Structure formats: C-alpha cells, structure tokens
Structure 1
Amino acid sequence: MTAIQFEQDNPAILLVDDQEDILLFLNSLLQSQYRIHTAYDGKEACEILKSKGIHLVISDVMMPEMDGFELCDWMKSHAELSHIPLILLTAKDTMQSKIEGLKIGADAYIEKPFSAEHLKVQIENLLKNRTQLQAFYTKSPLAHLSADAGQKASEPFLEDIKSIIFDNLDNPDLDVVFLAGKMHVSRPTLYRKIKTFFHLSPNEMIHLLRLNKAAELIAEDRYRFSEIAEMVGYHSLGQFGRNFSKQFNMTPSEFLDKIRRNR
C-alpha cells in the first residue's frame, strides 16, 4: 500500500461514476468547497481509498466492474474504511433499490436527476455530524462512557483500539507500534483510520484516552490526583495536570468540583 496522503485544508470527496459528464458536473459543483478525487468504477475507487485520506464518497449505483452497491459493501467490510460516509446516486426509482442501498450501509440515497442544492446539503450534514462527533470525543472528559456516542460511533475497529489502549494505560511500550501490532494492521492503515475519524494521530488518541480514563477515575472520587496520574501512565503530576487542562479546558480539581456539584 502506498503512503497515505493527508492535507490540512478542505475535506476530500471521492466521486465515482462511469459517465464523464456526471463527474465533470459534480466536480464543478463541489470543487470550490472540497478537494475532489474521481474514479470511473468501484475498482478504481477502491485503489484511491487505500491510498488517499478520503472524508466522503459519492458513487453512482450502475457501473461496470464494480457497482455502487458492491463498492459500499466493500467499504463497510473493511474496518479501516467503514467510517467514511457514502452517498449513492441512482436512476433506479424503486423502494427496493433504496432499501438495498441503506441495508448495506449507505448513509444517503439520492435519485437522478437530483437537486444540486439537496446533494450539497446532504454532504454538509454528513461532514458536520462527523465533525460534531469528533469534537464531542476530544473535548468531553467522559465521552467514552456516553451511550449515545457509543451508538453513533459503533465501529468495531475503533472500539477495539479503545479497549487495547484502556487495557495498557500503565504499559510504557504503549505507542503507535504497539497499537498497530495489537490491531494486526499496518501503521499507515491505523493512522488513516484514526486521522479521518478523530483528526488525531494514533499517539494523540492514546494521549486523549489516557485523559478520558483519568476523568473517569476522578469522577469516582476515590483516589488522589497523584494516584490517578500514575494509574493512567503519567510519571509527573504536573504534566498530568497541564495536559488535562489543555485537553478539557479545566483543571482536574475544577472537573472534580463540577462532578461533586452535579451529584
């Protein structure tokens, strides 16, 4: 697999259609807001998804080689890609076709001819929802305990990562190499999955989940801060306090006071 390419500007959208005029139209419609990649069938799309940091896919259903349903099924069956939102475009105006697309994991199903404004709003909403979920996970001390967040992010790959990190918080070898080995994936695959979902590197996610666990322990109100710092892998209480404050915009003491007030 080639090196994963990530840029820091607009989200990247992959357009998949065997009709060049449709690709040109979609490109002209979206290029001012997004970075655009194009593919003429599902197989070509697969290769792009393996090497590019794609944030959303828009695919036609009827294509040679690999159609939109098959592409969707392939994406959702690969843990490192299953989180990417996918919009299916089709001229098949039947309820059964819509049901089939949604059952295999498509996030939206739009009939041709479609309203350009409708498509743009669908894209914006899917990306906005993803951004809101990212913000919730990274700025809420107890996000990892939220049932709602768990349902929204019900992805075995990410849940496995979290379990491995939580089980090894006091392990000095807990880093991206250790995590990729436990997940049985390459470091580029691990990086792409975590980066596109959380906008974090694997090491940053390890750091975040250390602090999430610390917040959970603080909320129990049973341990001293020095004990909690050591339990989650910090050897310096000062560093723990600084990192907690930077991540959640409150000190451990302020968080504990908030927990006590809400009881």
Structure 2
Amino acid sequence: MADQIDDDHISAVEREQTHYATKRPTLLIVEDSDDFRYFLKDSLLDEYNIVEAVNGKDGWQKALFCHPNLIISDIAMPVMDGIALCNKVKNDSRTFHIPMILLTAANTEESEINGLGSGAIDYITKPFRLPALQRKIRNIIKQQEAFRQTYQKVVEIKPSQVDVQTPDEEFLQQVILTIEQNISNTNFSVAELSASLLISRSTLYNRILELTGKAPLDFIKSFRLKRGSQLIDKRGFTISQVCYKVGFKSPKTFVKAFKSEFGVIPSKFNQDA
C-alpha cells in the first residue's frame, strides 16, 4: 500500500506553506542536527523557500506533501536515514523525479557508492565549502527551469508529439494522452486527471506547474484551445463543432477563452494563412 501523509505532518507543512506565495524554488532540508539545519536554512533562505525535516521519515512525509524542487539530506539520522529516504523517493511514482543531494561525514568510497547508488544526484562530504553547495543547487534548479521551458514550448506547439525519453517527458505524455482521451468531455476535471494518473491532486498540481508553468486546470484549458486551433486550421469545422469537440460547454465560452489565449476570435485565426 502506498504511503499516506500523516495528519500531524500535514498540519506542520501547511504552516510552512506561507513561504509558497512566491514562485521561488522550494528546497527540503532533512537534517537531525538543529544547529546544522539552521545553518543551511539561513544560508539558502534568500534564494529559496525552505521546508525543514528532522529525519528521513519526517522528510518523506513533507516530500509527499510539498513536492520540493530539490531535497538536501544528511545520511546519518535516526528513525530513517538519508539512504533509506533516497530509496523511497526514487522508487515512488509521486516523487521519483525530485533530485536529491546527500550530505555525510563518511568520506569513504563505499559510502559514496551507496549514496549515489540510491539515486542521489550528488554526494557531498562534510565539511564542505558552502559556495560549492550553493553553486550545485543553482545548477540543478537552472537545469529544471531549462527543461520546463523547453517542454512547455513543445507541449504548446505539438500537444501529442512528446517522445518518451525521461521520467518527466513520460509523465507529460501520460498527462497529454489522458487529456486527449477526454478532450470532448466537458466535465473532465483535475480530480479525474489525477485519479487517472494514480497520483494525488497536490502532486499533479506541483509537477504540471513545475514542467509547464501552468496550473493543471489552466493546462487542460490551454490544451483544449490549442487542439481547437488545430481543428480550425483544418477549415472543415464550424466554430460550434470545434467548441464541442474540444470540451467547451458553449460557443460563447469557447470564443471568449480562444481570444484570451490567441488574441483573436476563432473566425479570424490564421485568416491570412
């Protein structure tokens, strides 16, 4: 049975959600030493939203709920260590895409192999230079942003032609195929999309927002409109026919949304093409 989010952890995380009003990336710091955790938080707070966890179990719960851009975890911790946490993150469909950096005082080849073997993107031994860690974090976040921008363009231009190469690409294709299968269903909702993909609504929200820059509801709406624009380009459908084929409840609603998306009404779209 998939892990469930404990109510006590949810309430704790919800208090930390005040940080989420901005669009800054979110880092989850998992560290049992209060002093070292505070040091990391204080060093990174100017650039990122920070969520804290005191051990691997706490970190796992918060990873499920917050869906951070990156997890930075110590290895030696009570209850659940960093290796076990990384294994859980990388073997769960809800979190496997989240990169992890492992921190440890164990400076041996075996420890490094175990750390990287659990799926961590990097393994850093203590003591380390803070600027080096900050640079590694920035590089990971920049890579995520570059991926999001690239595939946002791909999805906008060719909604059904994303090749499966990486877990993020595969996830996007699953989202796109599910929407396409329900494109004419006016009642198709974000809840139905998340249920079809077997993930929670919060996970769906965070992953689609991270990869496309749009909330799921906006993504579905934008996808319907882009499919509508393709049908209009075919020149064989009336506006009303296109409207219902892509799941809008009325031509009036479709025309209004279309103009908001493309800057022109459907009848003027690609008129000179």
Q: TM-score range by the shorter chain?
A: 0.7 to 0.9
| Alignment gaps of 5+ in structure 2 | none
User: What is the root-mean-square deviation in Å for CA atoms of aligned residues?
Assistant: 3.2
Distance in 2 separating the partners of 1:84 and 1:100: 18
Q: What is the match of residue 64 of structure 1?
A: 78
Q: What is the match of residue 102 of structure 1?
A: 116
Match of 2:148 among 124, 131, 134: 134
Q: Which moved more, 1:13-22 or 1:65-74?
A: 13-22
Q: Does 1:205 align with 2:219?
A: yes
Instruction: Give the letter for the 1:38 counterpart.
Output: E
Instruction: Give the letter for the 2:21 counterpart.
Output: Q
Identify if the C-alpha distance between structure 1 residues 146 and 192 changes in structure 2 by more than 3 Å, giving closer, same or farther.
Answer: closer
Q: Which moved more, 1:53-62 or 1:102-111?
A: 102-111
Contact 2:102 2:120 in 1 (8 A): yes
Q: Which moved more, 1:186-195 or 1:123-132?
A: 186-195
Q: How does 1:79-228 map to 2 (within 5 A)?
A: 79-140=93-154, 141-142=156-157, 144=159, 145-147=161-163, 150-154=164-168, 157-211=171-225, 213=227, 222-224=234-236, 226=239
Contact 1:13 1:36 in 2 (8 A): yes
For residue 67 of structure 1, report the CA deviation from its aligned partner.
Answer: 1.4
| Secondary structure at the counterpart of residue 60 of structure 2 | helix
Distance in 2 separating the partners of 1:74 and 1:89: 17
Distance in 2 separating the partners of 1:155 and 1:102: 23
Residues 131-186 of structure 1 show CA distances to partners (whole Å, capped at 9, x for unaligned) of: 22222333443365244xx4345465544322211211111121113223323444
Contact 1:42 1:66 in 2 (8 A): yes
Alignment TM-score, normalising by the size of structure 2: 0.74
Contact 1:69 1:104 in 2 (8 A): yes
Q: Which moved more, 1:225-234 or 1:120-129?
A: 225-234
Contact 1:170 1:231 in 2 (8 A): yes
Distance in 2 separating the partners of 1:87 and 1:78: 17
Residues 78-97 of structure 1 show CA distances to partners (whole Å, capped at 9, x for unaligned) of: 22222222111223334444
Identify if the C-alpha distance between structure 1 residues 245 and 107 changes in structure 2 by more than 3 Å, giving closer, same or farther.
Answer: farther
Q: What is the match of residue 270 of structure 2?
A: 253
Distance in 1 separating the partners of 2:168 and 2:261: 26
RCO comparison, higher one (Cα < 8 Å, 6+):
1
Distance in 2 separating the partners of 1:101 and 1:155: 26
Distance in 1 separating the partners of 2:211 and 2:117: 22
Q: How does 1:24-39 map to 2 (within 5 A)?
A: 24-39=38-53
| Secondary structure at the counterpart of residue 175 of structure 2 | helix
Report sequence identity in percent: 31
| Alignment gaps of 5+ in structure 1 | 258-263
Distance in 1 separating the partners of 2:246 and 2:101: 40
Q: Does 1:233 align with 2:254?
A: no
Q: What is the match of residue 261 of structure 1?
A: none
Q: Which moved more, 1:26-35 or 1:135-144?
A: 135-144
Residues 107-146 of structure 1 show CA distances to partners (whole Å, capped at 9, x for unaligned) of: 2222222221111111112112222222233344336524
Residues 8-28 of structure 1 show CA distances to partners (whole Å, capped at 9, x for unaligned) of: 313221111222332122122
